[in-house]
Amino acid sequence: MTITLQDVAVILGLRIHGLPITGTCDIDWSLLCYELLGVTPPTSEIRGSAISTRWLCHQFSHPPVDLDDATLEQYARAFILGLIGSALFTDKKGTHIHMCYLPLLRDLTQTSMYSWGSVVLAHLYRELCRASLDGATVIARCVTLLQLWS
């Protein structure tokens, strides 16, 4: 037995049919953060194409009282990015969130149309392969799926 796309859909409630999740990592991450989140993170909080989880949580933990639509969308993007990075595509330490998913949050009406379940399963299989190598001591990605499935 093995985890299937249907298992992902049932266990996590993620879409398994829809738009493919593709993109590029050749992006100016600071500029993209400013465009979609309304704030540029300090360079000390960016590691390659990942942003500090601590910084993201601290920056967006207290929304202003008088939210306009643009600010509400920025906070929603930050929340969804944090959810993606902490539940679906975690790194081994849990300290950083990959920003490659941020461009997919540009149009929030399209975000639910992506095949998130396919990517979660592909990343889980990739991580299981890496974890089986000699010397591997930790595993990342969506281990919640693995735990609930087993």
Residues 122-143 pLDDT 10s: 888 888 888 788 887 777 667 7
In angstroms, the Cα distances linking 100 to 10, 30, 81, 122 are 26, 12, 10, 16
Work out how many domains the chain is built from and give that number.
Answer: 1
86: its two tokens: 């902490």
pTM here? 0.86
Range of the domain at 23: 5-149
Q: How far, rounded to the nearest angstrom, does the alpha carbon of residue 128 sit from its chain's CA centroid?
A: 18
pLDDT < 50: residue spans in the chain: none
Q: Which pLDDT score is estimated for 41?
A: 92
